[in-house]
Amino acid sequence: MRKNLYILFVGAIALFSLSSCGYNSMVKLDEQVQAQWAQVENVYQRRADLIPNLVNTVKGAANFEQQTLTQVVEARAKATQVTVDPTKLTPESIQKFQAAQGELSSALGRLLMVTENYPELKANANFQELQAQIEGTENRITVERQKFNQVTQEYNAKIRSFPTNLTASIFGFEKKGYFQAEAGANKAPKVEF
């Protein structure tokens, strides 16, 4: 009887030791994912903050297409309303966030294309500076999304690996979603001269 209690006690200590180490590392990785998500939101917010300045600069151009400006403003409003709880970074929630941001990217791209028809606007130093800042922000978004996917991959691998997968299921650690490539991104655009 005493031997069985000793084996049970040693087994419980060993199980606790293994789960404690796995638990702590999963908490650390989960925190890294949430911190990186905050950084992704930060660069998207930077872009959203630049857009009103860009729209106001473009508004000053005579006869500028009002519909294009309206689409940008509406897309910005919609994109800033979509938020994701960092503790629930599911594939569905990230896809919803990404879709709203994609609409804003598309509207912003149309705005910048239309400005090509306005030489006085293209020569405006304020417009050029804002355009450069937005381009830089788009690059930052790409970098931060890549970092998010990297830390998420590390977290997901950890919670799916044995024996930490046992601890993960006990304590409710769930797989996080990734940023995916935009639909059609795998097809090269047609270039015609």
- Could you give the CA distance from residue 58 to residue 140 in angstroms, rounded to a whole number? 24
CATH number of 2-171: 1.20.1440.20, 1.10.10.10, 3.60.15.10, 3.30.2130.30? 1.20.1440.20
Which pLDDT tens digit goes with each residue over 21-41? 689 999 999 999 999 999 999
pLDDT surpassing 80 at residue 162: yes
pTM of the model: 0.78
Q: Each residue of 145-154: b (16+ CB within 10 Å) or e?
A: beebbebbee
The domain segmentation of the chain, as residue ranges, is 2-171
The percent of residues in the chain predicted with pLDDT above 70, rounded, is 85
| Average pLDDT estimate for 150-177 | 93
pLDDT surpassing 70 at residue 193: no
Is there a contact between 140 and 55 (Cβ–Cβ < 8 Å)?
no
Which pLDDT tens digit goes with each residue over 109-121? 888 888 888 788 7
> Which are the contacts of 175, defined by CB distance < 8 A and separation ≥ 6?
156, 159, 160
Check whether the bond before 163 is cis (ω within 30° of 0).
Answer: yes
